[in-house]
Structure formats: structure tokens, C-alpha cells
Structure 1
């Protein structure tokens, strides 16, 4: 049984963690949510939504409880490493929200400590299990596209108000997801080319990026975000030697309505207008065109993996070297953004 304690109680915990853990209560449960006392003032109603969970402002209570065997760090980014190290020093396995650390060097230190302690430390790169990403993965693994030539990933917005945002942060807050999706699916590239800047505030913001990943087998992957895209672009475009696949945009998680109570486990079924478009040449040389239903997104799959790893039956689904590579890419992209004056 995984006995879980959360450090933090933001929207991410409520929407992307708790519903998926509750759906797996036969093998995991949440015992604590730690919040600083000042964060609880005027916000106790949300705590009442979860009567089975103990809310506490004593970090020692959480870390010293022998029943707790998994700490989930879900705090502002700059505190991830400190809490992760604290949990490891207390003998707890740790799942840390993205970005796992603010630098690749910090991540290496954390992984070294986890290895020394014989514990799990893993990044919560849950967007590997988005509905669109799982659909793309299913098509790629079917091999109907043949040898892959190009994969393009888009996560775009139309928000002209981005012009008022002066400061870095989009790379660590947003780009870390699609960059990880590519690294998780295809591995660490041998070469990268960066176009990272701001349309409105060059040199002081990082809200536009176009990063090209080049692989030894000839595959090129593109990760791109702009805040000036008025018409929906496909979230993924995949071209192989035998065919192509287009995955429509399914919208943004941030645009979904917030319930006045616990988030339910998502059960959305996507209409055919959101299904992917697949066209390829079969073994007889005949053209095949079809709609591909959207796979079900499931952020709980990362918890299933942790359960199996802790039981000694699996390896981590998000590898240490992948986390380090993603952070190195983000760091290099940040430098390009600062120079883009």
C-alpha cells in the first residue's frame, strides 16, 4: 500500500493528483496534506472537501510518520529541491512536481542522494499521459507510419495580454511538458537548435519558443509554443515514410471550469471532430485513411508505476537521465531567450 503525503494544496494537487489516487484506493491512500499555517487562513473550506485526509502545518508530523512511504512535493518551483531532499533524508520515496529542480546540477544532487538512501525520487511528468499524447503514441507504436521523419508538437494560445508579462518563466512552467514528451518518447537528441524569445519583450521574457530536436536515425522533432495563434493548430503532426497523422488540439487544462468541491475523475469522451486523422499506405500499396479515436488521458499511470517500483517489480517510467536532459534543454533555451534582444 502506498501511503501518501502531499506538500502543498494548490489546484494541481486537487485536479491532477487526488482524483487519480482516489480511483486506486485498493493500493494507495492519502494520509496527509501539509500546508503552511499562513496558507490555510481563509481557505479552510477546501480542506473540508476531503474529510479522510489529515491537514497539518507540522512538517515534522509528516516526515516522522513511519506509515508514510511516498511524499509528493507540489510547492512553488523554487522549493522543490529543498522538500525533496528533506523527504529523502527522512527515508521517504518522493514524487516531485515539474520542474523537478531549477537546474540540472540540482537534479543530479537529488538523484545521487536518492541512490545513496536506496529510495525513489521521480519527476511528475504526468503530461506523458495526456489524451492526445497517448493517442499519438498508440499510432506510432502501431508502425503504420513506417520510419518516422518528423514530429511536430504545438501548445499554442491566443493571449495578446502576454505583452504585459515581463519576465522569464514560461519555459520552466510550460515548455518542460512538451520537451519531456519528446525526450520521453524518442530519447535524448544528439543536436538541438533553439529559437526562444518574446514577440513583445525580447531579452526579458521567454513566451515564444521553437526548439528542434535532431536524432541519429534522421528523425526531427519540433516543440513550439506561441501566444499569438488565433486558429487552433493540431497539437501533434507526425510524418513517416508510409503516412501521416494529425492530432487536433483538445484545448487547455487551464480553461476547464473549477467545481465548487473536489474535482471528479475526468470521464470526458471526445466527439469525432476531435479524433485524429491518419493516412498511410498499407503493405499492398493501398491508401488507408481513417479517424483515430482519442485515447483516455490518465495521470494516475505514474502512481501505478511508483507502486510497482516500490514493490520491486518495475523501473521508473520517468528516468533520471531524461529529467536531467530536459532541464539542460530548458537551461540552454533560457540563455537563448536572454540573448534575444
Structure 2
């Protein structure tokens, strides 16, 4: 049994974490939850209290609890570095919500501290278990499109009235959404050789916090991956567009887990997170005989709880981490470079 504690009990904890833990209570036990202010989610508190979970408004209760095998930090992004550092210093393994830190120097400090104390630290990159991303990996592995040339991924919304956000740049779209897309690319292809960045504030001119970005990541063998997001797309781009030497794959709609979670449909419910057939991706490719083939690719099921399965395997059975230290540092390196200049710019990494 893996005994875990949570730092934070807000929307993200109760939408992206605990619903998946409920499906894994045979091997994961939530021993403690810290929140600055309890009583805001009485039904959720009641459920976990019945499971034996102890609630507290004192962070020291988590720091001092030596029975915890893992602490999960789900707090506002600017607090991540300080909280994770305190937990590591007190001997805790830590899973931290994205983005892990603001700067590469901070991330390197946490990784070095974890190595020194022989502890586990890793960001919660749940979108490695998006249905659409898992299906894209299958398309690449099958070789439908041949050698990939251009890969484009979007995370588009229509939120025209949500501009005017102030505060830490970590609250912008580049760190908030870009962290997922950059991690997906780095998990597939590694850190790019160089990148072109265009990170902007568009809804409220002069905003300090970005709400739109495009980053072109350049790799060997003439391959380019583009990650892009906007809050002003009344009609969204396809989620994935992949062109290769033999064909093209296009997937329009996003993973359904988030849609279901937002409407209160939880993991374990019938058809949770599953694509409708009309939302499956389409591949057009040419086979060895030169025949043009059009094929529908059924979406693989997604499961954000896969992060916890991977963490369990690492902490209990000694498996390699889902997100390696090289990958987590690479993501922060790219994110930090994206905000190095307020104007479009290019950064070389290798």
C-alpha cells in the first residue's frame, strides 16, 4: 500500500487527482490532506474522512508525517518551488502539479536535492495519458505517415472575456498550457535543437500575462513540431496535424476526460472519457504499391490515473520514472526560454 498526502484540496485536486485515486484504493491510501481553509468542500471531506484521511490546516502536519510514502503538491504554480523544497528537505518523495518551477535553476536545485537525499521528485504530467496523445503515439509507432516532417498540436479555447489577468507569469497560458504540449513533444523527441517563440497577450492589450503562444521546435532530420494555444478561437484548429513522407494524420477533437470531469462524470462511469466514433482521427497514406489508403484510427482510452500507476511502480517496484530528470529539466528550459524576450525570438538549445 502506497500512503500519500496532499498539499491542496481545491478544484485541481478534486478533479484531476482524487477521482482517479478512488479507482486505486486497493493499492493507494490517502492518509493526510492539507488545505489552507477547510470546509469549502464538505461532501468531499466527508468521503475521504470515512476512508481514514486526516485533514489539517497546518502544513507542518504534512512535513512531520513520516508515515507518508509520497506527498502530492497541488497548489498555485508560484508556490511549487518553495513547498517542494521544504518537503524534500524533510525527507518526502514529491509529485508536484505542473509547472514544476518557474526557472531552470529552481528545477535543477530540486532535482539535485532529491538526488542527494535519494528521494523521488516528478511533475504531474497527466496529459501523457490523454487519449489523443496516446493515439498519436500509436500512429507514429505504426509508421503510417513514414518519417515525420511536421507535427502540429493545438490547445484552443474561446474565452474572450477572461483577459486582464495579473500576477506571476506562471499563471499565463505558456506555462499553464504550454507545459503540457512541450512535455508531450519532449517525451517523444527529446529537447529540440532550437525553437522559435511567439508568446503574446492578445485579449487585453498591454497585459503582463500571456494568453496566446506558438513555439516551433526544430529537431534533426528536418523535423519540426509546433505547439500552439489561444483563448480566442471561436472555431478551433484540429488538435493534431501530422505530415510525413508517406501520409497525413489529422485528429480534430480533444481528449474527453476533461469534458466528462467538468460535468461531474467520474472515472469508473460507463464510457467515461471515450471518444465518439465521429471524433476518431483520420490517416491518409500511400502503401508500398503506391495505393492511396484512407483509414479511421479509433482513439485509445485515456487515463490520467496512469501517472499514479507509474509512480507506484517507481516507488514500490523500482521502475524508471515516467518523467525522467532530463525530460523535466528540458521542459522548464524551453518554457523559460519562451519568456526570455517579449518579442518573437529564437533560442538554440544544442
Q: Does 2:225 correspond to 1:221?
A: yes
Give the Cα–Cα distance (whole angstroms) in 1 for the partners of residues 308 and 26 of structure 2.
Answer: 13
Give the Cα–Cα distance (whole angstroms) in 2 for the partners of residues 99 and 33 of structure 1.
Answer: 21
Q: Does 2:148 correspond to 1:175?
A: no
> When the two structures are superposed, what TM-score results if normalisation uses the length of structure 1?
0.91
Alpha-carbon RMSD: 2.3
Aligned residue runs from structure 1 range 2-81, under 5 A: 2-36=2-36, 39-50=37-48, 51-52=50-51, 53-81=53-81
Give the Cα–Cα distance (whole angstroms) in 2 for the partners of residues 32 and 221 of structure 1.
Answer: 41
Matched position secondary structure for 1:137: helix
How far did residue 314 of structure 1 move?
Answer: 1.5
Query: Pick from 322, 326, 334: which aligns with 1:329?
Result: 334
What is the CA deviation profile of residues 294-333 of structure 1, one whole-angstrom value per residue up to 9, with x for unaligned ones?
A: 1111111111111121134311111112222211222222
Partners of 1:4 and 1:70 within 8 A in 2: yes
Q: Does 2:195 correspond to 1:192?
A: yes
Give the Cα–Cα distance (whole angstroms) in 2 for the partners of residues 45 and 76 of structure 1.
Answer: 23
Q: Does 2:254 correspond to 1:250?
A: yes
How far did residue 148 of structure 1 move?
Answer: 0.5
Give the Cα–Cα distance (whole angstroms) in 1 for the partners of residues 239 and 344 of structure 2.
Answer: 28
Partners of 1:198 and 1:206 within 8 A in 2: yes
How far did residue 68 of structure 1 move?
Answer: 1.0
Q: Structure 1 residues 332 and 158 mapped into 2: Cα distance closer, same or farther (>3 Å)?
A: same
How far did residue 54 of structure 1 move?
Answer: 1.8
Partner in structure 1 of residue 88 of structure 2? 88
Partners of 2:174 and 2:199 within 8 A in 1: no
How far did residue 3 of structure 1 move?
Answer: 0.7
Q: Does 2:308 correspond to 1:303?
A: yes
Partners of 1:233 and 1:249 within 8 A in 2: no
Give the Cα–Cα distance (whole angstroms) in 2 for the partners of residues 313 and 205 of structure 1.
Answer: 40
Give the Cα–Cα distance (whole angstroms) in 2 for the partners of residues 150 and 158 of structure 1.
Answer: 26
Give the Cα–Cα distance (whole angstroms) in 2 for the partners of residues 149 and 249 of structure 1.
Answer: 22
What is the CA deviation profile of residues 13-60 of structure 1, one whole-angstrom value per residue up to 9, with x for unaligned ones?
A: 111111222212222221111112xx2255434312322122122333
Once the two structures are overlaid, the 10-residue window that deviates more, 194-203 or 134-143, is: 194-203
Partner in structure 1 of residue 283 of structure 2? 278
How far did residue 280 of structure 1 move?
Answer: 1.1
Partners of 1:192 and 1:214 within 8 A in 2: yes
Matched position secondary structure for 1:309: helix
Matched position secondary structure for 1:220: strand
What is the CA deviation profile of residues 111-154 of structure 1, one whole-angstrom value per residue up to 9, with x for unaligned ones?
A: 00000011110011111111111111111111121111010011
Give the Cα–Cα distance (whole angstroms) in 1 for the partners of residues 121 and 335 of structure 2.
Answer: 20
How far did residue 254 of structure 1 move?
Answer: 6.4
Give the Cα–Cα distance (whole angstroms) in 2 for the partners of residues 65 and 190 of structure 1.
Answer: 43
Matched position secondary structure for 1:337: coil
How far did residue 253 of structure 1 move?
Answer: 6.7
Matched position secondary structure for 1:88: helix
Q: Does 2:212 correspond to 1:208?
A: yes
Matched position secondary structure for 1:160: coil
Partners of 1:33 and 1:55 within 8 A in 2: yes
| Unpaired segments ≥5 residues, structure 2 | 346-350
Partners of 1:243 and 1:281 within 8 A in 2: yes
Give the Cα–Cα distance (whole angstroms) in 1 for the partners of residues 330 and 261 of structure 2.
Answer: 34
Q: Does 2:117 correspond to 1:117?
A: yes
Q: Structure 1 residues 259 and 163 mapped into 2: Cα distance closer, same or farther (>3 Å)?
A: closer
| Unpaired segments ≥5 residues, structure 1 | none
Partner in structure 1 of residue 157 of structure 2? 157
